[in-house]
Amino acid sequence: MSVTRSRREFFGVAAATLAGASLFPKRVFGQSAAGTPALLGGSPVHTGGWPAWPEWRQSWEPSILQVLRSGRWYRGSGGEQVPQFEAAYAKLLGARRCLATASGTTALIVGMHALDVDAGDEVIVSPFTFIASYNAILMMKALPVLADTDPATLTVDSASIASRITDRTRAIMPVHIYGMPCDMDPVLAIAKKHRVAVIEDACQAWLAEYHGRMCGTIGDLGCFSFQNSKHLPSGEGGAITGDSEDVLDRCASFHDCGRPYGGFKGTRPNFTRGGNFRMQHVQAAMLLQQLDKLVQDTARRREHADRLTASLKEIPGIQPVRLPENSRAVWHLYPFRYDAEKFQGLPRDRFIRAMRAEGIPCSTGYQEQYYDGLLDEAINSRGYKRLFSAQRLKDYRDSFQALTGNKQVCETTVAVTQNLLLAAPGDIDHIPAAIRKIQTHGAALARA
């Protein structure tokens, strides 16, 4: 089995494995961290599984049935759930407006359109992100220009953003990856200096906070995902938040086939450019039910992440992530950096296999996906060759080599998923216990 498993695959497997398991499985006592590693035939540190995700509650069912029985399923049918969700989510985040969308990807596309990102423009983005951030920019026929990653924070290195600005740059897209806030002040300063927009990819960062503001309400627009694995899931779904009535009116219009909306009348009597990126009422009903839970789960994840960080920072070769001053993460994944040398040369992939054998599901972070062919496919296409000069596309391709911080992050990150942080505190302690056990036997595990 590959150690590089996407969150979606992971949750699929976890859900199947954990079907029928209780939400908070019993603690397993008596597993010594000094014992034989499970990969070498010993007993695992953790047994009994982890909280399953997503979680469904029977008490939510009447609100879903109400939508189904009403027949008012699509946004334009007169149902109330989507607008209700938009108002509640905007209030929760402290944003003036919220527009619900079909997904996080479509939120990014709609948001970029409203901020006037057009074919042939450039958008500066974090490379250490889910591929949808790149893809959304490609959907605009714009160039996803990759800034470097700060190995200490796993988020964008703002110093590298400035060096990526060109006369084509239209927007900067910082990504609050794993729910960890980017250092937004320098990003905003660069954007202001060069008069470009900031669209936050907050698709993994519901309720993350930076300098007293919620992620997704700091730039011109913020985009969220409510896909199945997310902390606020509805299968698929997304949202855009922002304070500008004009920009949100443009978003609302573009997401609804280009119908005039609010103060945005478009350029034609009826329709302007647009698509169908609407959320359904049944999705909104699911989300409305989970808002209180999101707040409670977030507090629990934070408390348990602090507990985990306190233990992990005592282990040589394990480096928890540094957050910007005065910020709070929400931990969609809980990542740390792994130094194989401090584990007697045990390679990271082998470490991950050993952790899984100990009952701790974990995986690598994102790979150097700019070498995977997606971006080559784009820049070698007829369209991109028409939109950008051959020299620009060559320089663009060459620029990937400068992503040294990101390379380091891709090679050394290990992450556990958020559902582990919802377990009982004693179960959380199994994570450092498993790591210490593996460290003691690093050489034997490397040989096995």
Ligand X SMILES: Cc1ncc(COP(=O)(O)O)c(C=O)c1O
Region from 101-109, 206-214, 352-360, 389-397 binding ligand X, contact rule CB under 6 A: 101-109
Distance between CA atoms of residues 28 and 224, nearest Å? 37
- Least Å distance, CB 173 to ligand X, is 9
Residue 127 sits in the site that holds ligand X (CB under 6 A): no
Residue 204 sits in the site that holds ligand X (CB under 6 A): yes
| CA 218, 241, 141, 6 torsion-angle sign | positive
**Which residue, chain included where needed, has tokens 């282990």?**
315
2 exposure class (CB count in 10 Å sphere: 0-12, 13-18, 19+): exposed
DSSP letters spanning 358-419? TT---EE----GGGSSHHHHHHTSHHHHHHS-HHHHHHHHHGGGG-HHHHHHHHHEEEEEGG
- The residue (of 175 and 414) whose beta carbon lies closer to ligand X is 175
- The residue (of 133 and 280) whose beta carbon lies closer to ligand X is 133
With CA atoms as reference, report the closest residue to 237 among 275, 285, 184: 285
DSSP state of 2: -
Applying CB under 6 A, among 82, 132, 251, 294 the residue interacting with ligand X is 132
- The residue (of 130 and 338) whose beta carbon lies closer to ligand X is 130
Region from 63-71, 99-107, 302-310, 334-342 binding ligand X, contact rule CB under 6 A: 99-107
Distance between CA atoms of residues 331 and 313, nearest Å? 17
Region from 59-67, 142-150, 166-174, 200-208 binding ligand X, contact rule CB under 6 A: 200-208
Applying CB under 6 A, among 37, 51, 104, 222 the residue interacting with ligand X is 104
- The residue (of 216 and 442) whose beta carbon lies closer to ligand X is 216
Distance between CA atoms of residues 413 and 396, nearest Å? 26
Residue 313's identity, in one-letter code, is: K
- Least Å distance, CB 135 to ligand X, is 8
Distance between CA atoms of residues 46 and 354, nearest Å? 12
- The residue (of 226 and 343) whose beta carbon lies closer to ligand X is 226
- Least Å distance, CB 128 to ligand X, is 10
- The residue (of 227 and 412) whose beta carbon lies closer to ligand X is 227
- The residue (of 370 and 388) whose beta carbon lies closer to ligand X is 370
- The residue (of 169 and 204) whose beta carbon lies closer to ligand X is 204
Residue 31 sits in the site that holds ligand X (CB under 6 A): no
Distance between CA atoms of residues 134 and 240, nearest Å? 18
Strand partners, 222: 200, 241
**Largest CA-CA distance found in the chain, in angstroms, rounded:** 74
Please give the radius of gyration of the chain, using alpha carbons only, rounded to the nearest integer: 23
- Least Å distance, CB 351 to ligand X, is 24
Number of residues that bind ligand X (CB under 6 A): 14
- The residue (of 67 and 136) whose beta carbon lies closer to ligand X is 136
What is the CB-side half-sphere exposure of residue 55 using CA atoms within 13 A?
A: 20
Applying CB under 6 A, among 103, 153, 169, 439 the residue interacting with ligand X is 103
Residue 203 sits in the site that holds ligand X (CB under 6 A): yes
With CA atoms as reference, report the closest residue to 255 among 76, 126, 391: 76
Applying CB under 6 A, among 11, 50, 128, 130 the residue interacting with ligand X is 130
Residue 129 sits in the site that holds ligand X (CB under 6 A): yes
Helix (H) or strand (E) holding 301: helix 281-312
Looking at residues 167 to 186 of the shown chain, list those that interact with ligand X (rule: CB under 6 A).
175
Q: In the structure encoding, which two tokens stand for residue 378, read together? A: 């784009």
Applying CB under 6 A, among 133, 217, 319, 406 the residue interacting with ligand X is 133
Distance between CA atoms of residues 15 and 18, nearest Å? 5
Residue 208 sits in the site that holds ligand X (CB under 6 A): no
Q: In the structure encoding, which two tokens stand for residue 315, read together? A: 């282990």
Applying CB under 6 A, among 31, 81, 105, 253 the residue interacting with ligand X is 105
Looking at residues 209 to 248 of the shown chain, list those that interact with ligand X (rule: CB under 6 A).
225, 227, 238
Task: Please give the residue ranges that form the binding site for ligand X (CB under 6 A).
Answer: 103-105, 129-130, 132-133, 175, 201, 203-204, 225, 227, 238
